[in-house]
Structure 1
Amino acid sequence: MTAPLDVPGSAAEAQPESVLAGAGKDIQGRSLTRIAWMRLRRDKVALGGGVVVVLLILVAIFSGPIISVFGHDPLEFHQEAIDQSTLLPQGSFGNMGSEYLLGVEPVNGRDIFSRIVAGAWISLLIGFLATLVSVVIGTVLGVVAGYFGGWVDQVIGRIMDVFLAFPLLVFAIALAGVVPDKGFGLEGNGLRIAMLIFIIGFFSWPSIGRIVRGQTLSLREREFVDAARSLGARHGYILFREVLPNLLAPILVYATLLIPTNILFEASLSFLGVGINPPTPTWGGMLSEAVRFYTLPHFVLFPGLAIFITVLAFNLFGDGLRDAFDPRAH
């Protein structure tokens, strides 16, 4: 048997300077969150979507100061900007200019820019809170169904099937027509917002519930769950300390993809006239009013662009999160 060749610079010979350079340094581990962040930083498209999402949230939070600086009261009429003979905005492109950044609406002359900014907080509020309701209900029932299995899984699974087959849009239209002006300590648009959050959130949880159930079925057979059982851990401890933390990544990813769906649903209801009561501005309500003035493309373009950019940004960011947390995608 021949001895290995000690060729200078080869892999067979350990270089003294490299050994000394690495001496005394601890090997640093990286968590799943850190690894996902490193992957997400390389996805410029997803980061761009995330930046737009943050900007939209800031616009919704500071809508009041933004309107006071760059626009006008979203409910204020500006008849001086309207041609009284045609009831159309004066000037080109709906009277767009320095005083009205995106022009004004026909007939009443309300500032389009201010109404889009004011409508952002309603769309995002309903989108976020309805998603939160869906995530909480879907996660709890999905984890319980996947972990316990048997008759529990069968009962929850059939409930999911019933909710998935439910005509949500028809039910929302019917319910919006019978909701009183006051109820549950709320009135007006406050009651409408709560109703939309309940309808969208309560009836859309089975989608995320199925995903959580499938992930739980896989996790309950893992070694760390068996180890917890062997140490005498109770079901509650295993569910909340072992299984649920490993579900945070898919839950977060699906939530970012569910938010734009809920925003679109709210816009659809407002477009159909069963959402937020006018004259409170919403993107869907602005599109519904713009249908009558099809000869003025800017009246339809700007609220439509607001919905398009919001949904696209959330989808791009959600796709990037999914790829970042999925090791098989790299």
Structure 2
Amino acid sequence: MTAPLDVSGAEYEAAPEAVLDASQAKAIQGRSLGQIAWMRLKRDKVALTGAGVVIFLILVAVFAPLIVGWIGHPPTDFNQDLISSETMAPKDGTGIGWDHLFGVEPVNGRDIFSRIVYGARISLLIAFLATLLSVVIGTVLGVTAGYVGGWVDSVISKAMDVFLAFPILVFAIALAGIVPDSAFGLSGDALRVSLLVFIIGFFNWPYIGRIMRGQTLSLREREFVDAARSLGARGPYIIFREMLPNLVAPILVYSTLLIPSNILFEAALSFLGVGVRPPTPTWGGMLSDAVRFYTIPHFMFFPGMAIFITVLAFNLLGDGLRDALDPRAR
């Protein structure tokens, strides 16, 4: 047998080796929904690539004057010395070189690179503002219809059906064609941009409105909503403080998918000649001008690729956000 240890008169503390000192122990922390979504998004390299392209395009649009002043030429300046007087095309076929990275336009010789950079400002500005308008109107009306129900839901739902059946493109062409050069205290590009934002944003709200209504119909039966009602919370408080935070994920995902649609819509209007008027550069307007010079492919290629890359980047980012914010995803 082993004799017991004599610990009399001495301070002795026995602790299991598996138990760490409180200063060394690491507290277990939970992860928020935002942290979980970010971890999922970081694993999606395609979505991150799309996000990187989107950020790059935004920076290009914001710093367009600096970029053009550094490696380009003013977008409205003519360079007739680069244009053949016989064919009205660039003398070397494209005009591409160190001075003109994407070449020059036929007839007037304007720098294509500079016009694409400045065109990003118009396209992204209209797309973002129109999406914001659609999201605000659609979210407020959709949540209100889903939560209140009854005749309010019936009226808002019928309004959605009317707007969804409305020929937006025809209306946009008609409205943009009859608005004068100066109206509502605005003129020039400011008036045209405001008009396009109103047309695109106001008539696209039912798409997100239907999504918000369906989500609200599901959320209003949840326990946390019943708990808020039992504590005496009124309708506006429940909508904006309890339900709206749970709708951030679908709002964010649908917004990233709505922005490219608005970019294409603005390009279509500019292509038809009812968007922002020349000489202000827009991607759709450049494509419209390029149709007359189909034998000069670079004139159409670069603005077309700008639209394609922008729309693709936003779609990839939207798909990645949808997967990352889906609580059922693993």
TM range (shorter): over 0.9
For residue 202 of structure 2, what is the amino acid of its counterpart? F
* CA apart distance, 1:83: 1.0
For residue 312 of structure 1, what is the amino acid of its counterpart? L
**Could you say what secondary structure the match of 1:329 adopts?**
coil
**Could you say what secondary structure the match of 2:20 adopts?**
helix
For residue 114 of structure 2, what is the amino acid of its counterpart? S
* CA apart distance, 1:151: 1.1
Partners of 1:165 and 1:21 in 2: CA distance: 69
Partners of 2:216 and 2:18 in 1: CA distance: 46
For residue 71 of structure 1, what is the amino acid of its counterpart? G
Partners of 2:217 and 2:274 in 1: CA distance: 40
TM-align CA RMSD? 1.2
For residue 52 of structure 1, what is the amino acid of its counterpart? V
Partners of 2:150 and 2:26 in 1: CA distance: 51
- Show the counterpart of 1:50: 51
Aligned ranges 1:27-106 → 2 under 5 Å? 27-92=28-93, 94-106=94-106
- Show the counterpart of 1:177: 177
Q: What whole-Å deviation, never above 9, does each CA across 1:157-211 have from its counterpart, x for those lacking one? A: 0000000000000000010110011111101121111000000000000000000
Partners of 1:119 and 1:293 in 2: CA distance: 20
Corresponding position: 1:221 with 2:221: yes
Partners of 2:118 and 2:57 in 1: CA distance: 12
For residue 256 of structure 2, what is the amino acid of its counterpart? T
- Show the counterpart of 1:3: none
Corresponding position: 1:234 with 2:234: yes
For residue 82 of structure 1, what is the amino acid of its counterpart? I
- Show the counterpart of 1:13: none
Partners of 1:193 and 1:298 in 2: CA distance: 27
For residue 42 of structure 1, what is the amino acid of its counterpart? R
* CA apart distance, 1:24: 4.0
- TM-score, scaled to structure 1: 0.93
Partners of 1:119 and 1:268 in 2: CA distance: 14
For residue 105 of structure 1, what is the amino acid of its counterpart? E
Runs of 4+ with deviation above 3 angstroms: 16-25
Corresponding position: 1:252 with 2:252: yes
- Show the counterpart of 2:306: 306
Q: What whole-Å deviation, never above 9, does each CA across 1:36-79 have from its counterpart, x for those lacking one? A: 00000000000000000000000000000000111101000001
Partners of 2:191 and 2:312 in 1: CA distance: 29
Q: What whole-Å deviation, never above 9, does each CA across 1:79-138 have from its counterpart, x for those lacking one? A: 11111111110114x110111111000000000000000110000000000000000000
* CA apart distance, 1:18: 5.0
* CA apart distance, 1:19: 4.8
Partners of 1:19 and 1:125 in 2: CA distance: 59
* CA apart distance, 1:321: 0.3
Q: What whole-Å deviation, never above 9, does each CA across 1:286-328 have from its counterpart, x for those lacking one? A: 0000000001111100000000000000000010000000022
Aligned ranges 1:281-300 → 2 under 5 Å? 281-300=281-300
- C-alpha spacing 1:17/1:165, structure 2 compared with 1 (3 Å): farther
For residue 131 of structure 2, what is the amino acid of its counterpart? T
Identify unmatched segments of 5+ residues in structure 2: 1-15
- Show the counterpart of 2:204: 204
Q: What whole-Å deviation, never above 9, does each CA across 1:199-228 have from its counterpart, x for those lacking one? A: 000000000000001111111111111111
- Show the counterpart of 1:150: 150
Partners of 2:57 and 2:18 in 1: CA distance: 50
Q: What whole-Å deviation, never above 9, does each CA across 1:135-158 have from its counterpart, x for those lacking one? A: 000000000001011111111000
- Show the counterpart of 2:3: none
For residue 54 of structure 1, what is the amino acid of its counterpart? I
Partners of 2:39 and 2:150 in 1: CA distance: 40
Count of residue pairs the alignment pairs up: 314
Corresponding position: 1:322 with 2:309: no
* CA apart distance, 1:259: 0.4
- Show the counterpart of 1:12: none
* CA apart distance, 1:20: 3.5
Partners of 2:19 and 2:86 in 1: CA distance: 87
Identify unmatched segments of 5+ residues in structure 1: 1-15
Greater Rg, structure 1 or structure 2?
2
